[in-house]
Structure 1
């Protein structure tokens, strides 16, 4: 994938991609409907911001919705990637668990991701 993220200034970045890198339109939709912006803002928020919110209720709901939507989408993508790692590259459960969770003993978590990924792929 040719998606690039370039930090242009201290607190600025530019994201670019080619049309073939976004076949389902998830990137462009996430930018256009501000889901990506809300999720990135959530990622950068401090714990104080979560415990003492200053945003309006509607803004907070939009941010939570966008973050959850993208998290679910990324979770599905990660599960499909585990299928690829196991089936295409023939990696062991242990090696995948070590790479994903920094814990080789989390093989059952990887197997659950694998099963989820196969369901998403229609297997």
Structure 2
């Protein structure tokens, strides 16, 4: 995949990809056009004070959580599919995958659950 994120200045970046090769299902396009990505990135940068002293309107806050949660669920599904690839294609052990994902090789049962979920998502 040739998705690139280029820092253009202190607080700016440019994201580029090839629509056909990098985004055959349209996930990237939809996340940008629906503002999911913008809301999720805003959430990453938000201070903890925003939870106790919110400045956004209620409607804005509802949209933000909706889009952030939707993108989060999509990323969880994509990570599960990646676990299937790591195990089935690369032959990696549950232990090695757990170390990569959780920084804890003992979390093998969590990786197996992700694997099962990933197989369901790809229809295997």
TM interval, shorter chain, is over 0.9
- 3-state SS, counterpart of residue 111 of structure 1: helix
TM-score for the superposition, normalised by structure 1: 0.97
Give the Cα–Cα distance (whole angstroms) in 1 for the partners of residues 27 and 92 of structure 2. 29
Q: Could you tell me how far 1:99 is from its partner in structure 2?
A: 0.7
- 3-state SS, counterpart of residue 115 of structure 1: helix
Give the Cα–Cα distance (whole angstroms) in 2 for the partners of residues 81 and 44 of structure 1. 26
- 3-state SS, counterpart of residue 24 of structure 2: coil
- Aligned structure 1 segments of 4 or more residues deviating by more than 6 angstroms: none
Which runs of 5 or more structure 2 residues have no equivalent in the other structure?
none
Q: Could you tell me how far 1:49 is from its partner in structure 2?
A: 1.0
Q: Could you tell me how far 1:9 is from its partner in structure 2?
A: 0.4
17-26 vs 103-112, which moves further: 17-26
Equivalent residue number for residue 8 of structure 1: 8
Equivalent residue number for residue 26 of structure 2: 25
Give the Cα–Cα distance (whole angstroms) in 1 for the partners of residues 71 and 34 of structure 2. 12
Which runs of 5 or more structure 1 residues have no equivalent in the other structure?
none
